[in-house]
Amino acid sequence: MRWAFIALVAIGLAGCGEAAPNPYPEAAQARFEASCPSENAVCTCTWDKLTRTMTYEEYEAALARFRETGLMEPRVTRARTACVERHRE
């Protein structure tokens, strides 16, 4: 019984890892890096978090909403904030 519990916990923890990045066209990353260069640790971190939390379609829709309304997608804000906090100098 104890081994069964340990196995269930291990399986549960294995599912807690960070999600794999969603596929994005290279052009999307190039556009992102035009304003946030990959040499910057915050930018690299932000791009990684965005691709892991949003599909390309969601990202493009968020950009369109921002251009139209000026309102930032909360997932973009969370990703950027987490990276800024992680990479404070």
pLDDT digits (tens, 9 = 90+) for 27-83: 999 999 999 999 999 999 999 999 999 999 999 999 999 999 999 999 999 999 999
Number of structural domains (the chain) is: 1
Q: Which two tokens stand for residue 83?
A: 């990276």
Per-residue pLDDT, 53: 96
Taking the C-alpha atoms of residue 48 and residue 83, their distance in angstroms, rounded to an integer, is: 10
pTM for the predicted model, two decimal places: 0.76
Per-residue pLDDT, 9: 42
CA distances from 4 to 1, 7, 10, 11, 13 (A): 5, 5, 10, 11, 14
In a domain, 3, yes or no: no
Per-residue pLDDT, 68: 97
Residues 44 and 13 sit within 8 Å (Cβ to Cβ): no
How many other C-beta atoms can be found within 10 angstroms of the C-beta atom of residue 69? 8
Range of the domain at 76: 24-86
In a domain, 68, yes or no: yes
In a domain, 28, yes or no: yes
pLDDT above 50: residue 4: no
Residue with the bigger pLDDT between 76 and 4: it is 76
Residue with the bigger pLDDT between 16 and 51: it is 51
